[in-house]
Amino acid sequence: MLIQFLLMMMAQIDTPRLNEIFALLSNQRRRFVLYYLTFESDEVDSNDLAERIAVVEANNTSAVSDEFVRSVKVSLSHIHLPKLADAGFITCNRTQGTIEREEVDDLTPFLEKTALLDGYPPTVSTD
């Protein structure tokens, strides 16, 4: 079923755009940014997003170190968010510290499929 979906989507999207989507979705942090903004909230505070991703990467435990959250935030700010913004998938408001998802029709079907494969939404353990 996934292969049929990919073939259908590939036929509808030009090759350069398809390459861009696959390149962006090849990184789990970028996928989780897009999942959050697609399925949970159209806008998020960058600190909240970094903490949320840190929790997911720490095997869904609610206790993560401040250092790890800072590390995630730095990689988001300097690597992942700029790539997503350059592709037109998100807008970053540095003054307010928020990230907002842009409506991109050709991205949502991929996110719906990859979210299932990534086990999104994650279950956060409280122990």
Task: Give the chain's mean pLDDT.
Answer: 86
Asked, for residue 126, whether it belongs to a domain, the answer is no
Share of the chain above pLDDT 90, in %: 56
Range of the domain at 84: 1-6+43-117
CB 77 within 8 A of CB 92: no
- Per the domain annotation, does 71 fall within a domain? yes
- Can you tell me whether residue 102 is helix, strand or coil? coil
Check residue 61 and report its DSSP letter. Answer: B
In a domain, 29, yes or no: no
pLDDT by residue (tens digit) across 82-99? 999 999 999 999 899 999
For 68, the 3-state DSSP assignment is helix
- Residue 31: alpha-carbon gap to chain centroid: 3
Look at residues 95, 5, 87 and name the one whose alpha carbon lies nearest to residue 46. 95
Total tally of structural domains belonging to the chain = 1
Answer whether residue 34 is part of any domain.
no
34 token code pair: 């897009």
Tens digits of per-residue pLDDT, 13-57? 778 878 888 899 999 999 999 999 999 999 999 999 999 999 988
- Residue 121 corresponds to which tokens in the numbers above? 């939404």
pTM for this model (two decimals): 0.83
How does residue 3 score in pLDDT terms, banded at 50, 70 and 90? Answer: low
- So what's the pLDDT on residue 109? 82
- Residue 27: inside a domain: no
Q: How much is the average pLDDT of 96-111?
A: 88
| Domain membership flag for residue 102 | yes
